[in-house]
Structure 1
Amino acid sequence: MIRINQIKIQHDGKYHDSNELRSILTKKACKSLRINEKNIEKFEIIRHSIDARKKPDIFHIYMVDVALKGCDENVVVKKCRDKNVSVIADKGYSFSEQVEIRRKVIGESFTEAEALENATHVYEQNGNVNKDNNKNSNKVVIVGAGPAGLFCGYMLAMNGYKPILLERGADVDERTRIVEHFWKTGELNTSTNVQFGEGGAGTFSDGKLNTMVKDKDGRGREALRIFVENGANEDILYEAKPHIGTDILRNVVRNIREKIIACGGEVHFNSQVVDILTSGDHVIGVKYMSLCQNDEDHTNTDNPGSEQIIKCNKVVLAIGHSARDTFYMLKDKKVNMEPKPFAVGFRVEHPQELINLSQYGQEKPDGLMAAPYKLTATTDAGRGVYSFCMCPGGYVVNASSEEGMLAVNGMSYSRRDGKNANSAIIITVDPRDFGSEDVLSGVEFQRRLEKKAYELGKGKIPVEFYGDFKKAIDVETKACGTDKAESDCNDAHVIPQVIAFADGKKNTPNMCGEYVFADVHTILPTDLNTAFVEGMEKFGRIIKGYNSDGALVSGVESRTSSPVRINRDDTCQSVNVRGLYPCGEGAGYAGGIMSAAMDGMKVAEFIAAQNI
């Protein structure tokens, strides 16, 4: 296989469909390799990014892989004498190969299996297991149907296992109806909402699929392939910043679930796990509560409020970062956990045209999607401030999951055609900020902030103009241009209309859920507010107008990542409860849709390696 980097195409203002794009790139590849198109056996676009450093001239940069027939690829590469052309190994992801690698990590041992069998026998003798569930003794139970749980279940189901997924929230269709009702009325369902339900928190988000996780085993590309196979657009396989959008993602997770069921797995919605059953230091089952009556096609039909037990010796704990009651249950069970750093802050909105103008040099560039950005800074006090979950053409959404508390998130549809760009601007916090040494002190820190936000807006999203926020904080900031952004923003292309956008027009919120203007600056502690303002002022040197008085600040953004880590060993099992597999974002091992999906795949490999 030959890889060609840096194929450059100048943007002509047109949108090219996949067939046109492949034709253009094939011709350029043939010219670079000095071959005829008939010599191409396989052609694949690997990566696409946009180079807008010479605004308003914009270039598309592609990486492609080409397999040849009838000629020696090494000879072809040597003759073309191009540093951007090289021969690579054509090796994709293989579940079976990864399972073999995991077996070597686990080692040959029968001790664990014998201990599990003995523990199960003791538990049966105590009469605590429903005999109807004895048949489930060798099944895997996956707690949570977010990206980690779904991909773990999918990989197991597609490879001959029959996992049981338990999700406290509703299926994606019922969930969508419940969430939209909440946004219209403010009536919160604490078990089905933006945080809980099929697909996890990512279902009501931008659906970004980029990750910083290293992918030497190919899980990331395989996850993207699975997304495409289940309804996502093919371009996510090569876009440098792939995203699905909440509208498409809902269909994708439904299709993944249906395949799990078709392969013999089970998916139970409205089924909240309330206990992990153990004997000694081994898992022997789970207890869950049926929250309501369900359909009989893909969910359980237990009586509402009834408790059920599933006997098993493998439990994948793929809970989300908002499963606070589950964290407390695990604390009571003395499952080994530790507090971890995360970040809190606000959602910041600007007109999308302002961001387009800064990044592309044009307010409404033909043939290009709404422009994204990425910003980072370090304050004088040493705190990190950075953009997170940036949503071009998106919405700020009420993402609450507990009564009397309010949290926000960002969401966009596949077209990203909303009027505003929004991003979380967040500040790093760690156990020193939480006010306690308790393992769940980070949870209570989040709750205090969310309670303030709820009371401030009386249940509605509180919003404040940045100019008013900054004036209230009254902090002297030192804006400097040393922090790096994803693209340069120099004065040559930032024409006066940028400032007109920022200061001459009062931005109006683009939100799902009711909002009210209020004193948002009263939510965070003073030192975090100071860090926020300092970061915003620095970002204004990178994107002109970013720190304008008309920018909108809403809060509170408190669910950026899990406040705890459920510690696990090299086999992905809890360090003190055998058979318990902490997995994904809630367990502290992922930070988004892709990394959670990849972690779910990794855990599936370890489970399969144990030959259950």
Structure 2
Amino acid sequence: MLRLTNLTLPLHHADEALPAAIIKRLRITPRDIVRHQVVRRGHDARDKSNILLVYTVDLTLRDEAKVLARHSKDRNLQRTPDTSYRHVTAARTGTPRPVVIGAGPCGLFAGLILAQMGFRPIILDRGKVVRERTKDTWGLWRRSVLNPESNVQFGEGGAGTFSDGKLYSRIKDPRHLDRKVLTEFVKAGAPPEILTEAHPHIGTFRLVTMVESMRATIEELGGEYRFGTRVDGIDVQLDPHGVRHIRGIHLQNGDYLEAERVVLAIGHSARDTFRVLHEAGVHVEAKPFSIGVRIEHPQSWIDQARFGANAGHPVLGAAEYHISHHCSNGRTVYSFCMCPGGTVVAATSEEGGVATNGMSQYSRNERNANSGFVVAIDPARDFPGDPLAGLALQRHWEREAFVAGGSSYKAPAQRLGDFLAGRPSTSLGSVVPSYRPGVQATDLAECLPDYAVAAMREALPVFGRQIPGYDHPDVVMTGVETRTSSPVRFTRGADFQSLNTAGLFPAGEGAGYAGGILSAAVDGIKVAEAVATSLCRPA
């Protein structure tokens, strides 16, 4: 089988145009094609008047060797890579059961892979099963009632459950583990289109049912879930050679769980667990993250700016954007986690704080587009000396936002025009904010570091020149966005184990090794394989 990439066709092409383009490109006849299958479809909208669809196609031809030889210099025609997944080993009778802490995308796939290899993992999560967790999350959004153990950040499915459900990343993996993730999602009920779209997404409602299905699979394979189970301590012992090994876990209910292999997939907001691990001597270092706001535009503005007269075309869907600017004060401002046709949601996990995030459903048909509008910060420059200082920085600005919003879990919001002018907003304009439980018009400069405010004010007109309407005075900015990524990294070695605590396998976003659903899931697979090979020899 051969793979043909970068095959372009007009947006409004007929079905028969694709095989015709293959024939023309490869200089073959219709009879030479046994079968063709679309592997990926994206679009090129750089010229809004002539938007192109870009295809990757797998081909079965009657004489593939001849065609490949004829096009030997064409890098867009290669043998189709083998993307099938193969388990690295299998559990033996009496092998100790590994423990996975966290049931987000990373923990979910670590647990799934371990279960498929026969290791019967025990999966702990401080939150609730996904449907009960959804009710608690809506409790904050609708009634301003926060459950610190069951919310957007904590519970089955992790923070990605209440997001746009994006399933793409910048990772380059020669083993195609991302394909394993997407295939398992489809088995669990995701739309098959995620296997071919260049920028696939799922949305919150579909993620809920998929997470439930994957939990059932893990349990059928001998895995065990324990919800409402927070880790409050770890037991580390020295072997005769002075090497630290994990031996067990102390749970919030007072129980002790023996564990020789522990996957640490706790997510980017488990601040209390970060501290527990730090106090236990687990190697941790500060990591860069970003801080800013959620910015909302009518989705129709973004569609028009990106697609022109083709805005609204069903193949294109709701338009996205990715922009950045390097500022004169040395800061970088960029868009983060853009949610087309979505809503801004309350994402705090601590009482007395406000944190925002973005969410979309699969349809992406809500009125507004929203994105993180954030400024990169660096430990050496902004919070040096203490590996946990980033947590304090996040918490400080979340509490300032809580006060600015009226101390009721409403979020502080401001018209973009007022933000640029340096004056508080007393009301909002034509762009209606989507955040629930509501917003309070105010001055966002009170909720952000001065260097971030200066950088954001410089970047807004720049982005307005790139995307017409981006810096419209009525655009709504809602604060604060602080949970862009983990502020710490639990450093690990080539064997995926903690640098100074054998048997502990830091993984995913919370450990500082992923950013988003797909990369976290892929990291979960890699860590599960490392756990398995540490327990058994490879197959």
Aligned residue in 2 for 1:408? 356
TM-superposition CA deviations, 1:294-347 (whole Å, max 9, x none): xxxxxxxxxxxx322221200000011100000110111011101111111010
TM-superposition CA deviations, 1:54-75 (whole Å, max 9, x none): 223322111111123xx33120
Aligned residue in 2 for 1:116? none
Aligned residue in 1 for 2:8? 8
Contact 2:485 2:509 in 1 (8 A): yes
Match of 1:439 among 365, 387, 403: 387
Counterpart-to-counterpart distance in 1, 2:472 and 2:54 = 33
Aligned residue in 2 for 1:163? 121
* Amino acid in the other structure paired with 1:186: S
Secondary structure at 2:281's aligned position in 1? Answer: coil
Counterpart-to-counterpart distance in 2, 1:49 and 1:89 = 19
Match of 2:420 among 456, 470, 477: 470
Counterpart-to-counterpart distance in 2, 1:254 and 1:26 = 40
1:83 is displaced (CA, Å) by: 3.5
* Amino acid in the other structure paired with 1:274: D
TM-superposition CA deviations, 1:427-463 (whole Å, max 9, x none): 0111245445211000000000000001110220111
Structure 2: give runs of 5+ residues left out of the alignment: 239-243
Match of 1:76 among 43, 49, 67: 67
Counterpart-to-counterpart distance in 2, 1:144 and 1:215 = 24
* Amino acid in the other structure paired with 1:466: L
Secondary structure at 1:516's aligned position in 2? Answer: strand
1:48 is displaced (CA, Å) by: 1.4
Q: Whose Rg is larger?
A: 1
Counterpart-to-counterpart distance in 1, 2:263 and 2:35 = 39
Counterpart-to-counterpart distance in 2, 1:150 and 1:473 = 46
Equivalent residue runs for 1:34-53 within 5 Å: 34-35=27-28, 40=33, 43-53=36-46
TM-superposition CA deviations, 1:507-527 (whole Å, max 9, x none): 111223322212222111211
Aligned residue in 1 for 2:56? 63
* Amino acid in the other structure paired with 1:3: R
Secondary structure at 1:374's aligned position in 2? Answer: coil
Counterpart-to-counterpart distance in 2, 1:58 and 1:179 = 40
> So what's the TM-score if we normalise by structure 1?
0.81
1:89 is displaced (CA, Å) by: 4.5
**1:282 and 2:245 matched:** yes
1:76 is displaced (CA, Å) by: 2.0
Percent pairwise identity = 41
Decide whether aligned partners of structure 1 residues 342 and 80 sit closer, same or farther in structure 2, where only a CA change above 3 A counts: closer
* Amino acid in the other structure paired with 2:54: I
1:389 is displaced (CA, Å) by: 0.1
The count of corresponding residues between Structure 1 and Structure 2 is: 523
Contact 1:162 1:264 in 2 (8 A): yes
Contact 2:41 2:198 in 1 (8 A): yes
* Amino acid in the other structure paired with 2:8: K
Decide whether aligned partners of structure 1 residues 26 and 363 sit closer, same or farther in structure 2, where only a CA change above 3 A counts: closer
Counterpart-to-counterpart distance in 1, 2:390 and 2:331 = 17
Counterpart-to-counterpart distance in 1, 2:84 and 2:332 = 35
Decide whether aligned partners of structure 1 residues 579 and 30 sit closer, same or farther in structure 2, where only a CA change above 3 A counts: same
Decide whether aligned partners of structure 1 residues 73 and 443 sit closer, same or farther in structure 2, where only a CA change above 3 A counts: same
Decide whether aligned partners of structure 1 residues 80 and 335 sit closer, same or farther in structure 2, where only a CA change above 3 A counts: closer
Aligned residue in 2 for 1:258? 216
1:80 is displaced (CA, Å) by: 6.6
After superposing the two structures, state which structure 1 stretch, 393-402 or 175-184, moved more: 175-184
Decide whether aligned partners of structure 1 residues 582 and 136 sit closer, same or farther in structure 2, where only a CA change above 3 A counts: farther
Counterpart-to-counterpart distance in 1, 2:440 and 2:94 = 51
Counterpart-to-counterpart distance in 1, 2:144 and 2:232 = 27
* Amino acid in the other structure paired with 1:607: V
Aligned residue in 2 for 1:358? 305
Alignment root-mean-square deviation, CA? 2.3
Secondary structure at 2:309's aligned position in 1? Answer: coil
TM-superposition CA deviations, 1:529-567 (whole Å, max 9, x none): 000111112111101121111111111000000000001
**1:539 and 2:463 matched:** yes
1:34 is displaced (CA, Å) by: 4.9
Counterpart-to-counterpart distance in 1, 2:28 and 2:325 = 48
Aligned residue in 2 for 1:333? 280
Contact 1:473 1:521 in 2 (8 A): no
Match of 2:86 among 81, 92, 95: 95
Aligned residue in 2 for 1:117? none
**1:374 and 2:322 matched:** yes
Secondary structure at 1:95's aligned position in 2? Answer: coil
**1:603 and 2:514 matched:** no
1:196 is displaced (CA, Å) by: 0.5
TM-superposition CA deviations, 1:479-521 (whole Å, max 9, x none): xxxxxxxxxxxxxxxxxxxxxxxxx972111223322212222
Aligned residue in 2 for 1:143? 101
Counterpart-to-counterpart distance in 2, 1:581 and 1:287 = 17
Counterpart-to-counterpart distance in 2, 1:82 and 1:26 = 22
Match of 1:54 among 40, 47, 59: 47
Contact 1:341 1:428 in 2 (8 A): yes
